[in-house]
Amino acid sequence: MLIETNAVVLSSLKYGDSSLIARCYCKKLGLKSFLLKGILSSKKGALKKSLFQPLNIISLITQVKNENHERLEFIKEAKVYFPLVEIPSDIKKNAITIFLSEVLTKVISEDGAPNNSLYHFIEKYVIHLEVKEFSPLFHLKFVLELTNHLGFYPNQLNLKEDFFDLENGCFCCSCTSKYVIEGESVNALKKLLGTNFEDLAQITLSNTLRSKVLSILIDYFNLHLQGFGKIKSVDILHEIFL
């Protein structure tokens, strides 16, 4: 059965001498892995390597034969759905996409059903990153809002409290375990929770505090997602603008 769907490219990996395996989060199919045969050697092929850069938004046609995710699928046709111009040419935005693609690759399961809400969130804010002025807080806000789609968004019932319990995902009145944070980190978290993407420029955090909040958010993911592990691209963020 042929299916046409929009998709966000999460990653691509060289396979053999001339092929790629691309992992794409598809609006209609969820996460799929596609074998792109000969894409690295063919200059006249229908599929171009440039389509499969991290977080590219594409439209593709595939013949689904593997609903149980037991093997690689193939792409019959693919084209750009929303062109990304700023992201590839802006070193800071590009670093953000590398980081976000690594996070998304870790949190989206290939055996899961399509999730329209999650897909629209990713697509919407990739486009936001492309067309809006760069904010050094974008990736922090993105991963924080991503938790809303993963089931562990911070509970804001006791937002006025001075501590935040990473293990239980809630604000609290005292430091009861090693997973409770306080001080400027909690204040930064509250600011991020209370500000939408369009108004991130209103928040000012030092490089040191941004780095600390990022580390806290990665710890938060590790507490709630088994096997999340280390994010290698954090080093790239540190080198470029943290």
Domains of the chain by range and CATH? 2-83 (2.40.50.140), 87-240 (1.20.1440.120)
Q: Quick: pLDDT tens for 131-187.
A: 999 999 999 999 999 999 999 999 999 999 999 999 999 999 998 899 999 999 999
Query: Which of 105, 176, 206 shows the shortest CA–CA distance to 146?
Result: 105
Q: Quick: pLDDT tens for 32-67.
A: 999 999 898 877 667 889 999 999 999 999 987 756
**Looking at the whole model, is its pTM more than 0.85?**
yes
